[in-house]
Amino acid sequence: MNFFTSTMRNVSQSTVRRLSLYLRCLEDFRARGIPTVSSRELAESVGLTPAQVRKDLSYFGSFGKRGLGYSVQDLESRLRGILGVDRGWGIAVVGAGRIGLALARYPSFRTRGFELRAIFDNDPAKIGRRWGALTVQDIDKFPKVARARGIEIAILTVPESAAQEVADRVVAAGVRAILNFAPAGLQVPDGVAVNNVDMALELEGLAFALANGEGSGD
Amino acid sequence: MNFFTSTMRNVSQSTVRRLSLYLRCLEDFRARGIPTVSSRELAESVGLTPAQVRKDLSYFGSFGKRGLGYSVQDLESRLRGILGVDRGWGIAVVGAGRIGLALARYPSFRTRGFELRAIFDNDPAKIGRRWGALTVQDIDKFPKVARARGIEIAILTVPESAAQEVADRVVAAGVRAILNFAPAGLQVPDGVAVNNVDMALELEGLAFALANGEGSGD
DNA sequence: ATATGTGAACATTTTCACAGCT
DNA sequence: AGCTGTGAAAATGTTCACATAT
């Protein structure tokens, strides 16, 4: 039992990542009309152990029925609540290069609890261009636009050399979560969350695995 | 001391990821003409503890000089060797959509030990298009082309619905490392390494952090 | 009968602290 | 004096096993 102990400090990064996997899986089960799922089935679908699944969930409450399992619909909406994707977070892409624009086309922002609300760049040649429903805006207008549109998460797809400066600016504008695609270790104040996506790092992990004759990554 | 114990089983995933961080950092130090670095300096640059740095390195050997620190050049080339990026791994991008093409333009494949040697798709409208020095090829020719060009790592940027099938095909063609951008848990035989890059998962991690008022991701 | 939720055992990873080299 | 390399301690994460509920 767990009465929403307001501050949830003691849940590991890996647990949160696994919750995302469970959520994706549950969406799939629901789409296939399956009403109920056991920790074993869930575990098999994502390649983990039943105990791991139950332990992960137990950090947040008791969502199952003993002898029966979990209601797919119910657990799905619980996980949405826990992960905080039961509301639409305002997102901006900063850096209207190839990668930024490709990500901006990511189809399922909306269905996953996120809303792309702005795209920024500092290149006059790019500013003003339309991209889907949005127009590329001048990065100098970030603070104003961010406030107006409720930008809460910034996706940084700028060159490495600009990454820290851009990060400083979006943080100064009140953004407290950054998804960073530049191969850089961003320096941010406490209270700002950063997740890095780094292709070079992933490739090097694979090179290591190949060079050492080992299978499996994550 | 460590006489290249042929099989290096007992080094964690996270250690390998940190080695990549150290490597990037050392490249930077070298570019700035700094000849020597201590575990403390290295640690500060990547946001870790000195002990962590030393322990990570100690799994592979003793690369420093007591009282002095590490030679930047030397440690850099040691890490290149350990990670296996002191040779050019043959890479193919499978899926010539926006993301695939954007990644194919990733500038520093070569400088980082990787060579993009082919791009594939199954869409007749895309096959035959040129992209930089490469031409988009029919996925049906993957086995032949992979053999001819020495493709060792496949970057999958195909829709979720096609991911598993494509994975099966590249594995059947002898590829033993996959960098998967589809939001999917690929099923692969033992001895095949998979790394997943999943934007939805990263965003959910940030949403969780925001919803729970916590800073820091990785 | 079946499957959860969880304290306790176990395993892994990180940090400490210090001996040993330069 | 300064900094590495590393066993040992501490912390963290995972698995077990079983009491408990349906």
List, in order, residues 6 or more apart from A5 with CB less than 8 Å away. none
Per-residue pLDDT tens listing for chain A (218 residues): 444 444 466 899 999 999 999 999 999 999 999 999 999 999 999 999 999 999 999 999 999 999 999 999 999 999 999 999 999 999 999 999 999 999 999 877 877 899 999 999 999 999 999 999 999 999 999 999 999 999 999 999 999 999 999 999 999 999 999 999 999 889 999 999 999 999 999 999 999 999 987 654 45
Q: Which residue of B has its CA nearest to A87?
A: B207
Q: Smallest CA–CA separation between B184 and chain A, in Å?
A: 9
Q: Smallest CA–CA separation between A104 and chain B, in Å?
A: 10
Q: Two tokens at A117?
A: 């609300």
pLDDT tens column, B142-191:
999 999 999 999 999 999 999 999 999 999 999 999 999 999 889 999 99
Q: How far apart are CA A138 and CA B137, in angstroms?
A: 38
Chain B partners of A208 at a C-beta cutoff of 8 Å?
16, 19, 82-84
Chain A partners of B190 at a C-beta cutoff of 8 Å?
215-216
